Amino acid sequence: MNSKFEEMESLLFDWASGTLDDNGVRRLRAMLREDEEARMFFVQQQMLSTALKLEADAGLELSDRQPLHHSTMSSTKREQNNPAKRLSRLSVWAMTSSLLLIFLLTGRVFYLEFSNKSSTAVITDTVESEPTSQGVALVTRLVDVSWEADQKQVSVGDALLPGRFAFASGFAQIEFFCGATVIVEGPADLELDSPMLARVRNGRLRAQVPPAARGFSLEVNDLKVVDLGTEFGLSVTPSGTDVQVFDGEIELHTPTSTMKTLTTGQGVARATGGQFEEINVEPEKFLNISNLGDREQQKQKAQYRQWQTWSQNLRQDPRLIAYYSFAEEGDWERRLACSKVPHTSEFDGAIVGAREVPGRWPAKRALEFKQPADRVRVQIPGEFDSLTFAAWVKIDSLDRWYNSLFLTDGYDQNEPHWQILENGQLYFSIRPENTGTAGSKDFKALSPSFWSPTMAGKWIHLAVTCDLQTNTIIHYLNGEVLSRHLVPAEQMPQMSQIGTASIGNWSSPTLPGQRFAIRNLNGAIDELAIFKVALSAKEIKEIFNHGNL
C-alpha cells in the first residue's frame, strides 16, 4: 500500500483510540485539507462498503445492469414490459443516492472533527446482525470431573450442543433449556438430542423436572422415560436399567409392551430387552442438587486454600513490580493493597467507584467495573527492561470501543497500554517516542479475536509479555499463546516505565468540561501481577494452572 495511505491509517487508528497527540492531529488535518487523494481514499472505502451492502440487499447481479445510452422513451417501454429491470433501475438509483449521502456524511464528519479540537462525535453507518448462540443445555456445576482422551472437556457456563456428553468420573449438573435440571454421576455417556430429550448409554442421573418442562424424556436403548412433572433417578449400566420415582409421576414406553406408569415411591429394574421388575426406591444413591452444592463448596474451599499457598510464594518473587491478589482480609477502605513482599504502601491502589464482589471462589474478593468512572488508580515508579502483565478477568460484555485492562495516564514515551477492542482482540502497545515528538510510531500488537458471547461472565486468564531485548510481544489466553508479534527495532523503546496509571479504565478527565473517554472494563478483575521481565510460556501456564484449580 502507498506509504501515505499507511500513515493516514495509523493516524486515524490513533485518533479513534484517543492517543493521537497534537502533532498527529495537525498532520491528519493537513493531509485531509491539502491532499485530495487522502480524502478520496477514505471516502472510497466508505462508498465501497456501502455499495456492496446495498447491492446485496437489493439482490442486484452484474447481468441486471444495462447501458444508459438508450432513449428515455425506449427505456421506459422496456421497463414497463420487464418489472424486474424496472426494480433493478430503481435499486441503482437508490444505491447512487445512498452513496451520495455517505459522501456528504463523510465530509461532514471530518469537518466537525478536525475543524474543532473538542469535537469527538463519530458518524457511522453500519448494520450489524443480531448475535446468536447455540445449544440445548448449560453446564452449571462440575465437581471432581475427569475426562478420557476421547471425551470433549467442557467448563461451567458452557452451552452444550446436540451430541455426545461424556466424562470418566465426578459429578456434573446440566440444565436443559426446557427447564429440566439433571445431576449426572460418572462414568457417564449421554447423547444430547434436544432441549427436551437425551439418550443415556451409561451413568447415574437424577432429574428434577418442573411443570414448565413436563414431557422431558430420557431414552435408554428401546426404553423411553417421559416425565410428567417430577423428580426421578435413572441408573444405566451394561447389565440393565433402574428407574426410581422420588416425587410425581413418569411414563415408561417400550415398543413391545403397553405404557407403564410409575408414581412417587415406585421403582423398576429392567435388563436390556427384558421385562420390568419392581425394586425398592433408594433416593440416597442419587445425588441431589443440595448435596452436590455441599460438595462443590467443600471443593472450592480446598481450591482456594491451595491458591492461597501458591499466592504466598508468588508475592515473594523478586521479579515482581507489583502484585494485587485482591485477597487481603478486613475492610479494604477503598484501597487495593499491593501484596508484594516486602509490602510498601507506595504501590497500593485507590479504588474509585468500583465495588467489591465475589471472585473466582466465594471466599475471594474481586472488583467490579461497571460505571464509566470506575477504576483503580496506581502510581508505579521505576524503569524496567521488559514487562509482563497477567490478570484474572471476568468480562460481562465488550460494549466499548476500547475496554481497559491497564492503561498509563498520558501514554508517554516508554509507557504501555493493555486493553481489549470491542471485537475481542487483545491490544498491547508501548510508545517509543515522547508525545509530540517526531519519530517512529508505536507498534500495535493486536491478537486474533478470542471473544464470543458464551464467554460472558466466565473467569478467564489474560497475559501479555513485552520483551525489549528480543523486540517481541506475546498475548496469552488461559495459559496458551494467542499471538506472537516481532516488533521492528525502531518501534520498541530501550526501557519501559509506568508511573500513574489505571486498572480497568483510563486516566483522569482531561477533555474540556471534565469529559473523559469511556474505556472502563465492563466486568471484574480479581488478580493482577506485573513483572519486570518477560515471563516464559511455561511460567504463564503455571500461573494459569494455579489459578484454575
**Looking at the domain assignment, is residue 126 inside a domain?**
no
Indicate if 273 and 313 belong to the same structural domain. Answer: no
Indicate if 396 and 519 belong to the same structural domain. Answer: yes
How far apart, in whole angstroms, are the C-alpha atoms of residue 330 and residue 349? Answer: 16
**Looking at the domain assignment, is residue 127 inside a domain?**
no
Indicate if 326 and 432 belong to the same structural domain. Answer: yes
- Residue partners of 236: CB distance under 8 A and separation at least 6: 200, 201, 202, 203, 204, 205, 220
Angle separating helix axes 289-314 and 537-547, nearest 10 degrees: 140
Indicate if 161 and 257 belong to the same structural domain. Answer: yes
Per-residue pLDDT, 502: 96
Domain closes at, from 287, 304, 327: 287
* Distance (Å) of CA 419 to CA 17, 426, 520: 11, 6, 10
Q: Judging by DSSP bridges, how do beta strands 335-336 and 267-270 pair with one another?
A: unpaired
DSSP label at 515? B
Indicate if 107 and 148 belong to the same structural domain. Answer: no
CATH of the domain at 436: 2.60.120.200
Per-residue pLDDT, 23: 73
Domain closes at, from 57, 84, 115: 115
**Looking at the domain assignment, is residue 128 inside a domain?**
no
**Looking at the domain assignment, is residue 120 inside a domain?**
no
Indicate if 538 and 399 belong to the same structural domain. Answer: yes
**Looking at the domain assignment, is residue 93 inside a domain?**
yes
Indicate if 64 and 86 belong to the same structural domain. Answer: yes
Indicate if 498 and 379 belong to the same structural domain. Answer: yes
Per-residue pLDDT, 259: 92
How far apart, in whole angstroms, are the C-alpha atoms of residue 32 and residue 42? Answer: 9
Q: pLDDT tens digit string along 420-429?
A: 999 999 999 9
Indicate if 331 and 438 belong to the same structural domain. Answer: yes
How far apart, in whole angstroms, are the C-alpha atoms of residue 233 and residue 306? Answer: 35
Indicate if 259 and 324 belong to the same structural domain. Answer: no
How many domains, the chain? 3
**Looking at the domain assignment, is residue 248 inside a domain?**
yes
420 in Cβ contact with 525 (< 8 Å): no
Indicate if 81 and 165 belong to the same structural domain. Answer: no
**Looking at the domain assignment, is residue 311 inside a domain?**
yes
Domain closes at, from 261, 287, 313: 287
Indicate if 193 and 95 belong to the same structural domain. Answer: no
How far apart, in whole angstroms, are the C-alpha atoms of residue 544 and residue 538? Answer: 10
- Provide the domain limits for residue 82: 3-115
Per-residue pLDDT, 56: 45
Per-residue pLDDT, 49: 46
Per-residue pLDDT, 170: 97
How far apart, in whole angstroms, are the C-alpha atoms of residue 545 and residue 50? Answer: 47
CATH of the domain at 150: 2.60.120.1440
Per-residue pLDDT, 40: 73
Q: What are the average pLDDT values for consecutive 10-residue runs of the chain, which has 549 residues?
A: 68 69 74 76 56 46 39 41 46 51 50 41 46 83 94 92 96 97 97 97 96 96 92 94 96 90 95 84 95 95 96 97 93 94 93 95 95 94 97 95 93 94 96 74 94 91 97 98 96 95 80 65 97 98 93
Per-residue pLDDT, 383: 97
**Looking at the domain assignment, is residue 150 inside a domain?**
yes
Per-residue pLDDT, 439: 64
How far apart, in whole angstroms, are the C-alpha atoms of residue 420 and residue 407? Answer: 11
Q: Judging by DSSP bridges, how do beta strands 231-237 and 240-247 pair with one another?
A: antiparallel
Q: For residue 94, which of 59, 46, 43 has the smallest C-alpha distance? A: 59
